C-alpha cells in the first residue's frame, strides 16, 4: 500500500480560491474525513484527488508518483482510485454482479478470473447472496454497498467517498456507519471520506481535516478535535459546548477547576482568554447557597432521553450549556461548578 500526499494544493475558479494551499499526509490504509460546511472546498479537493478537476498550484502524490501539479494531470482512469458517489450511480438494467464487474469488464477481464473478482468484491460488502438481483430490488443501504463493491473490484489504492450517506434516512445512516467501519477493517483500504456531518466523521474516521472557506482549520484525531480544538470556530463546529472569557490560561492549555473558576470570577476587563467548556464538564447545583461562587438562571430545558439539556445564562450575560439528570424550572437560579476548560487560539 502507498500513502497519499497533498502538498499546498490550490484550486481557483476565477478570483475565488475554492481550495487554498491545503496540505495533508495520509497514511496507507488510513480512514480520513474531509469535514466542513457547504462551500468549504472539501468536494473540490476530492474531485482533484479523483482527477476530475485540475490543480492550479501544489501537488498530489500517491507514493512516489505525482498525480497532479500545476503542469501535471494524470487522467482519472490512470490514478488507481475509485469513487463512491452520493447517488450510487448504478446501472438499472444490470444485475448487482454486472454492476460490480463493469469496471474490470471494460479492461477486458473475462471468464473465471472475472467471476472470482466479482464474488470477492461482493463478499467484502456481505452481498454474495444478492448477485443476481437488480438494483431496484435493493434498499438504499444495499445499493451503497454495491457501489462500494464496484470500487473494490479493481483493487484501487485509494477509495474516495463523496457524502455517501447523505441520501439515506437517519436510522439507515447509523446502520451504514457500522457497515463502513466493517468494510474498512476487512479491506484495510485507504479511504478519503467527504461529509458535512460532524457526527458521521467523528464516528468513522481515524483523522479528520476540518476545512473552512478553502483552508485547513485543523487536522487531528476525532478525540483531539473534541477535547483540544485549536480555534473558537472549530470548537463551535465540533460537538456542543460554551465559550466563556476568563482571566486565566493561554491558548492550547487545559484549565483545571480551580483556575477556571477563579478566572471566571475576575473583573470583565481581565477576562480576555476564550475557553471552551463542554456540557459534561459542568455540574449544576439546583439549590445553591446564597454566596455560591458561580450562579446562573435556567433559560431552557430539553429532554434528550438519557439526560436533560440545560440552557443557562450567567450573571455576565454569557450563555452556558450543561447536562443534568432531572428537569429544572425555567427561571430557576442554580449554582455551578465548572470542572475543566480548554483555552482557544484567537481567530485570525
| CA 121 – CA 152 distance, rounded (Å) | 6
Contact 216, 209 (CB under 8 A): yes
Look up cell 431496484; give the residue.
136
Asked if the model's pLDDT at residue 87 lies above 90, the reply is no
The CA-based angle 120-121-123, given to 5 degrees, is: 65
**pLDDT, mean over the chain:** 91
Coil, helix or strand at residue 155: coil
CA neighbor of 92 nearest in space, from 104, 102, 81, 80: 102
pLDDT in tens, 230-263: 999 999 999 999 999 999 999 999 999 999 999 9
Give the pLDDT score at 45. Answer: 97
Four-way CATH pick for 240-343: 1.10.630.10, 2.40.50.140, 1.10.167.10, 3.30.70.1290: 2.40.50.140
Q: Quick one: CATH architecture of 4-229?
A: 3-Layer(aba) Sandwich (3.40)
Coil, helix or strand at residue 173: helix
Residues with Cβ within 8 Å of residue 53, at least 6 apart in sequence: 11, 44, 47
pLDDT in tens, 292-348: 579 999 999 999 999 999 999 999 999 999 999 999 999 999 999 999 999 999 876
DSSP H/E element including 160: strand 158-162
Q: Domain boundaries in the chain?
A: 4-229, 240-343
Query: Where in 49-157 does DSSP place strands (E)?
Result: 57-62, 65-69, 72-73, 81-84
| CA 324 – CA 165 distance, rounded (Å) | 32
| CA 225 – CA 207 distance, rounded (Å) | 9
Write down the pTM of the prediction.
Answer: 0.87
Please, is 151 exposed, middle or buried when counting C-beta atoms within 10 Å of its C-beta (0-12, 13-18, 19+)? buried
User: For residue 148, what pLDDT band results from cuts at 50, 70 and 90?
Assistant: confident
pLDDT in tens, 163-219: 887 766 777 677 778 777 887 887 788 999 999 999 999 999 999 999 999 999 999
Residues with Cβ within 8 Å of residue 196, at least 6 apart in sequence: 35, 36, 37, 38, 42, 163
Asked if the model's pLDDT at residue 1 lies above 70, the reply is no
Amino acid at each position: 500500500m502507498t500513502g497519499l500526499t497533498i502538498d499546498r494544493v490550490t484550486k481557483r475558479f476565477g478570483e475565488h480560491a475554492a481550495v487554498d494551499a491545503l496540505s495533508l499526509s495520509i497514511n496507507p490504509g488510513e480512514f480520513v474525513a474531509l469535514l466542513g460546511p457547504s462551500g468549504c472546498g472539501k468536494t473540490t479537493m476530492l474531485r482533484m484527488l479523483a482527477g476530475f478537476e485540475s490543480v492550479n498550484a501544489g501537488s498530489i502524490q500517491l507514493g512516489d508518483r505525482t498525480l497532479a501539479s500545476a503542469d501535471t494531470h494524470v487522467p482519472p482512469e490512470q490514478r488507481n482510485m475509485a469513487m463512491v458517489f452520493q447517488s450510487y450511480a448504478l446501472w438499472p438494467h444490470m444485475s448487482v454482479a454486472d454492476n460490480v464487474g463493469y469496471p474490470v469488464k471494460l479492461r477486458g477481464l473475462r471468464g473465471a478470473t472475472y467471476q472470482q473478482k466479482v464474488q470477492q468484491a461482493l463478499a467484502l460488502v456481505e452481498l454474495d447472496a444478492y448477485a443476481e438481483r437488480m438494483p431496484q430490488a435493493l434498499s438504499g443501504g444495499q445499493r451503497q454497498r454495491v457501489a462500494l463493491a464496484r470500487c473494490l473490484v479493481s483493487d484501487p489504492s485509494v477509495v474516495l467517498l463523496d457524502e455517501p450517506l447523505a441520501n439515506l434516512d437517519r436510522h439507515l445512516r447509523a446502520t451504514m456507519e457500522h457497515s463502513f467501519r466493517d468494510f474498512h477493517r476487512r479491506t484495510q483500504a485507504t479511504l478519503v471520506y467527504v461529509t458535512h456531518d460532524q457526527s458521521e466523521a467523528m464516528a468513522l474516521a481515524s483523522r479528520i481535516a476540518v476545512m473552512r472557506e478553502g483552508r485547513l482549520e485543523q487536522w487531528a484525531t476525532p478525540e483531539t478535535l473534541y477535547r483540544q480544538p485549536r480555534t473558537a470556530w472549530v470548537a463551535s463546529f465540533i460537538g456542543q459546548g460554551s465559550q466563556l472569557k476568563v482571566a486565566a490560561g493561554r491558548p492550547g492549555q487545559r484549565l483545571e477547576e480551580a483556575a477556571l473558576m477563579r478566572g471566571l470570577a475576575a473583573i470583565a476587563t481581565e477576562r480576555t482568554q476564550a475557553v471552551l467548556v463542554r456540557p459534561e464538564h459542568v455540574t449544576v447545583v439546583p439549590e445553591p447557597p446564597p454566596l455560591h461562587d458561580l450562579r446562573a438562571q435556567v433559560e431552557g430545558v430539553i429532554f434528550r432521553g438519557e439526560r436533560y439539556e440545560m440552557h443557562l445564562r450567567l450573571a455576565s450575560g454569557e450563555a452556558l450549556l450543561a447536562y443534568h439528570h432531572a428537569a429544572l424550572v425555567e427561571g430557576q437560579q442554580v449554582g455551578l461548578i465548572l470542572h475543566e476548560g480548554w483555552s482557544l487560539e484567537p481567530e485570525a
